[in-house]
Structure 1
Amino acid sequence: SHLPHLIAYTIVGTADDLQQVTQSEVIKFSAGGFRDFTRIAASDPTMWRDVFLSNKDAVLDMLQRFSEDLSQLQRAIRWGDGDALYDRFARTRAIRRSIVDQGQDDAAADFGRKHD
């Protein structure tokens, strides 16, 4: 659960940096996907600083794995490997659908799961 926070914080910061450099309104004209994805960047910075520092080794391990996965996607785009991109996107789409099917896309306490 830590990595999405780092990614959201980074994407918002990158968008703002780009906006400053290009003198454009990157964030103002971003679409709903940007808003939805970066929602967690509004989280408490003090708490997340402490969480990241307290879990430094695990966070660094996960960041390394994420960086490797991101590098694979960069290579696929660079080399025009549409099959690799499609396979990754289809796989992760199916995973996302299973998350929703399991009820983990519900804002209710405990994702709306009923307990016996």
Structure 2
Amino acid sequence: MASPMFEKIALVGIGLIGSSLARVIRREGLARHIAIATRSASTLKRAEELGLGDSYTTEAKEAVGDADLIIVSVPVGSSGEVAAEIAPALKKGAILTDVGSTKASVIAQIEPHVPEGVHFIPGHPLAGTEKSGPDAGFADLFENR
């Protein structure tokens, strides 16, 4: 088996998009470690029951420590608050991206908090369903998207 692309990927938010990413990361062996953060203890518990990650926390700052890739999967209005929280824990050389459905507002919220040496690459999943939560995700969500 080939070496994983990343040592550690942190998923901040574990709804439909975040849980789908966790599943495809695991299936494709893209990371040695998947760290999951979400504010809701019940959502975090469910993510753990589903085996979506390797570590779980309600503290986003804790999840992103030493992560090579950080994917912010929160409602777009919360992006700035999350960015401010995780900024001190982001390591130099890390890639920070988001899966928000809008870009101008998310960039305006996140960019001021990105430390020097961290690569912010705004993203958009171009995929989704009407369902939400960690149970709604599936590894094939992004195929042919």
Check whether TM > 0.5: no
Q: TM-score category by the smaller chain?
A: under 0.3
| More RCO (CA 8 Å, sep 6+) | 2
Higher helix share: 1
TM-score of the superposition, structure 1-length normalised? 0.25
Larger Cα Rg: Structure 1 or Structure 2?
1
TM-score of the superposition, structure 2-length normalised? 0.22
